[in-house]
Structure 1
Amino acid sequence: MALSKLPARADSAALSRLASSVPTDETREEIPVEAPYSGINIQTIPASTSADVSAAVERAREAQPAWADRPVSERAEAVLRFHDLVLDERRELLDVAQLESGKARIDAFEEILDVATTARHYAHRADEYLEPERRKGAFPVLTDTRVYRHPVGVVGVISPWNYPLTLSVTDALPALLAGNAVVVKPAEETPFSALLLRDLLREAGVPNDSFQVVTGRGSEAGAALVEESDFVCFTGGTETGRKVAEQAGANLTDCSLELGGKNPMVVLPDADIGKAVSGAIQGCFTNAGQLCIAFERLYVHESIYDEFLDRLVRRTRGLDLSPGYDFGPDVGSLIGSDQLETVESHVEDALSKGADVLTGGRARPDLGPYFFEPTVLTGVSDEMELAREETFGPVVAVESFDSVADAIELANDSEYGLNASVWTEDGDRGRKVARQIECGTVNINDAYAAAWASVDAPMGGMKDSGLGRRHGREGFEKYTEAQTVAEQRAGSVTAPPEGVPDGWYAKAMLVSLRAMKRLPGVR
């Protein structure tokens, strides 16, 4: 579809305005931004330097105390206004997200749902999360102990290209509500979604310098943001995540990292095959497989393997792979040439070593430069790149198993541990299996949305899939410093009162300790 047919908010002039709003000290090198559907450069963004990032962080640091001084209720009201604006401006947000990422509109709409859900949740819970908390004191009645939470300062968010709406702002919202300022460095492939969201936050009442977007390459702008921030939130590949963690650690800067995945789906013999196949379609091919929590490994019990595989292949062949800025297509484009090269390389390597393609397996340049068919493989073995490396495309390997113990072992046989799924009609059995899978989230009878959309519960990775958590109380408190304030109302905790011999004091303390062991209220 021609760029000229897009709504005005996504046309060249509108994108140019957004690009020119990125603050730089002087004219910078321009980075072209490509539309994956066509391969055409739609606009350029400035390649912010480390000096530009430092200036943005300094502005944020100056603005942060005034933002933190506002009542939590005022900050929450701004985020709730942002919630409404996201819904009101959804068409423009969807157009821009599709334009720069190449995803199907239904996948972009999932981001709208996620942003609104996260905004609503944290806006309504921020006051609770920041309420001073009474803890048990050193001695009952005599010691009053409370925990206060303070903002860390400036939070740096480095977001990837695969979910440019969700990952540019949903990690920032709890940080803002906690009283921090935020500087976001979006992927250079998808900067305009972040810039649009910045404008909506400002319209909602967040001060300009309290939420900023800097554009540029990760090697310079991203590294500078890690260096300057008081907390770093990074979503991306494991290799880059290690570098971020190393740089942050050298500065004793705390960070959270959601990294790669090679996610398994386990289908037990009592599963509803139709529902499991639908779950596999969603879990494998949403966003053309460019989803950190997508499945690349399917393990199906041998008693239902043939029927499951037959249905999966038929459903996969029926998917609508095509470009389009309206609802309708099921699967969109890959993001660019590097991603297409990785997907093609993994499939070709698997085929050369004996794997079978049951459907798909080809690039589709007739649809656009980076389209690749949804692909189902069998016969994948450990010596193939596809077996262990993250493909991050619409490709899945299917294998049978004969016992639940084998399925769990297969699911855990990976360096990654981000997301998994278990399919069974027995909820107790499903939970038992889920608890044995080494992943930060496990869904029962759902691909990924059940756990992801449960924003009151933490989400993140085990093993090489990351550190820290987003969502829930954990995803809020990581942006705060905990401070304990203890008031001793009488006497001293560790020293005898004046005039009392040390020996008498020691005996009295021993009696008190033995008594407190038997009192449930002071344990």
Structure 2
Amino acid sequence: MIYLTTSVRQFGMTINGETVYTKNTLPVINPANEEVIAQVPHADENDLNLAVHAARAAFPSWAALSVEERAQMLEKFADAIEQNSEELARLFTLEMGRPYQGALQEVSGAAKTVEFYAKQRLPREILQDKDTHYVEKYYTPLGVAGLIVPWNFPVSLAVWKVSPALLTGNTVVLKPSPNTPLTTLYLGELAKEIFPKGVFNVITGANELGAWMTEHSGIDKISFTGSTGTGKKVMQGAAINLKRVTLELGGNDAAIVLEDADPKKVAKPLFWAAFLNTAQVCVATKRLYVHEKIYDELLTELVNYAKTVKVGDGMDPETQLGPLQNKTQYEKVKGIIEDTKRSGAKIVLGGEIDESKPGYFIPITIVDNPADDSRVVVEEAFGPILPVLKYHDYDDVIQRANNTIYGLGASVWGEDLALARSIADRLEAGTVWINEAQVLHPKFPFGGHKQSGIGVEHSLEGITEYTNTKVVMIRKNK
């Protein structure tokens, strides 16, 4: 089977429709065994300038195409992703660590996302048509979009940004995380066979490359997905020349389980709401609040189900959860576990890390009712450690759930849908699910409240983030 091979060929950047290599390179590490699997280009400022220049040169002719012509090329890009989905998924597993089937699901989903965007059209709206005036509103592209993608969803988050940017007539410079560059470089290879030169550029480099992009005078828009701390730096850099920004940042999502929920029914979906992708999801459940009447039973069901889930190398077909993607994240989660132990909180599952074996593996760890001000509750761990918290009063739990700088997602679980909806309406988050979590679709706007971001992705609202609103007013000769 294709995903059992571990060899990786050399990849180059895509600049102005050409494959570009650099003298200096960056290693790509397989998080399951800490082995270097590839070297990729390490772009410097000159490489960035070349990419931006190519994108700027290509912009006028690309923007001048009809939206139908641009959409046709997006549809070809979607087909190319699907046709190469197995190889993309294999690279995904090697560099990111997610089990192959989950990687393949993301890649196929990314192809469908591109296809969805290819069918979207922003409306032209007549604001006034009277004897004296005709007024029309429509949307124009911004120019060059700088797209900065994180390591946890390297394919889907790339196309979330590329698709609306290209559809609306922008050209792009796409930068993946230095931890997961292979799949994005492959997307660049596919794209250069479809789009005109300079329209779709991919560059790879270390973290300073993102900072150079946010300050670059030739980039008109930055779309960034990542941590809140880095998002603040992106906003500061973009302020130099008032770039437009879309920021999808951190989250510390709360799930509230009502007293009428069935512990046997909700334990499994709650587990995956928290631990999918080894909990490396911005909208993962990171704080689980359970009503005291069912707390003990649900905690037991959750622990029992967690014990059945296999953690291991994503190349093993039986693996359900892989390693953390990188050592920095591994050390952070390890520190939170150590702090949890020092605090005296009860760890009912996991918590013991076997450091004698290679790989950034953290066992599934569940903490029984830690203090609200503990690190495991306050911080976004972005790893497989879940605090389960007891409550008895709905007003109190809503206040506790909202007591965070974040506001990305949340969920409510229970049989009384009217009660669940009333609680959902009071939660300070961009998306609130009832009896499910992490369900996203490009037709639904997705964005955060508070320090979880600025702007939205997806939907027509998200597409307009890559445009200027333009009004043309005509005084009639009457």
Q: CA deviation at 1:123?
A: 0.9
Aligned counterparts of 1:375 and 1:298: Cα–Cα separation in 2: 13
Contact 1:64/1:179 (CA < 8 Å) preserved in 2? yes
- Aligned CA distance change for structure 1 residues 328 and 25 (closer, same or farther; 3 Å): closer
1:458-497 correspondence runs (5 A): 458-489=445-476
SS of 1:415's equivalent in the other structure is: coil
1:188-267 correspondence runs (5 A): 188-203=178-193, 205-219=194-208, 221-228=209-216, 229-267=219-257
SS of 2:310's equivalent in the other structure is: coil
Q: Which runs of 5+ in 2 are unaligned?
A: none
- Deviation track 1:161-189 (CA, whole Å, cap 9, x = no partner) reads 11111122221111000011010111101
Aligned AA (2:117)? Y
TM-score (norm 1): 0.86
Structure with max Cα Rg: 1
SS of 1:464's equivalent in the other structure is: helix
Q: 2:48 aligns with which of 53, 66, 90?
A: 53
- Aligned CA distance change for structure 1 residues 175 and 5 (closer, same or farther; 3 Å): closer
Higher mean alpha-carbon deviation, 80-89 vs 143-152, is at 80-89
Aligned counterparts of 1:259 and 1:318: Cα–Cα separation in 2: 32
1:117-516 correspondence runs (5 A): 117-125=112-120, 128-129=121-122, 131-136=123-128, 140-203=130-193, 205-219=194-208, 221-228=209-216, 229-325=219-315, 327-365=317-355, 368-449=358-439, 452-453=440-441, 455-489=442-476
Q: 1:87 aligns with which of 78, 82, 85?
A: 82
Q: CA deviation at 1:105?
A: 2.2
Q: CA deviation at 1:251?
A: 1.1
Aligned AA (2:156)? T
SS of 2:287's equivalent in the other structure is: strand
SS of 2:109's equivalent in the other structure is: helix
Aligned-pair identity (%): 36
Q: Does 1:106 align with 2:101?
A: yes
Higher mean alpha-carbon deviation, 397-406 vs 358-367, is at 358-367
Q: 1:43 aligns with which of 31, 38, 59?
A: 38
- Aligned CA distance change for structure 1 residues 104 and 366 (closer, same or farther; 3 Å): farther
Please, what is the CA RMSD of the aligned residues? 2.1
Q: CA deviation at 1:346?
A: 0.3
Contact 2:21/2:41 (CA < 8 Å) preserved in 1? no
Aligned counterparts of 2:293 and 2:131: Cα–Cα separation in 1: 64
- Deviation track 1:409-446 (CA, whole Å, cap 9, x = no partner) reads 12101111111111122333322211111011111111
Aligned AA (1:11)? S
SS of 1:324's equivalent in the other structure is: coil
Aligned AA (1:331)? L
Aligned AA (2:259)? P
Aligned AA (2:303)? V
Aligned counterparts of 1:72 and 1:377: Cα–Cα separation in 2: 52
Contact 2:248/2:448 (CA < 8 Å) preserved in 1? yes
Aligned length: 474
Aligned counterparts of 1:486 and 1:19: Cα–Cα separation in 2: 48
Aligned counterparts of 1:298 and 1:91: Cα–Cα separation in 2: 35
Aligned AA (2:450)? K
Query: Which structure shows the bigger proportion of residues in helix conformation?
Result: 1
Aligned counterparts of 1:177 and 1:281: Cα–Cα separation in 2: 37
SS of 2:286's equivalent in the other structure is: strand
Aligned counterparts of 1:305 and 1:388: Cα–Cα separation in 2: 21
Q: CA deviation at 1:25?
A: 8.4
- Deviation track 1:10-64 (CA, whole Å, cap 9, x = no partner) reads 623x2x1x13767798843221111111101111122211221111011011011
SS of 2:231's equivalent in the other structure is: helix
Q: CA deviation at 1:88?
A: 2.1
Contact 1:32/1:45 (CA < 8 Å) preserved in 2? yes
Contact 1:77/1:123 (CA < 8 Å) preserved in 2? yes
Aligned AA (1:132)? R
Q: CA deviation at 1:299?
A: 0.3
Contact 1:375/1:396 (CA < 8 Å) preserved in 2? yes
Contact 2:174/2:201 (CA < 8 Å) preserved in 1? yes
Contact 2:13/2:19 (CA < 8 Å) preserved in 1? no
TM-score (norm 2): 0.94
- Aligned CA distance change for structure 1 residues 440 and 260 (closer, same or farther; 3 Å): same
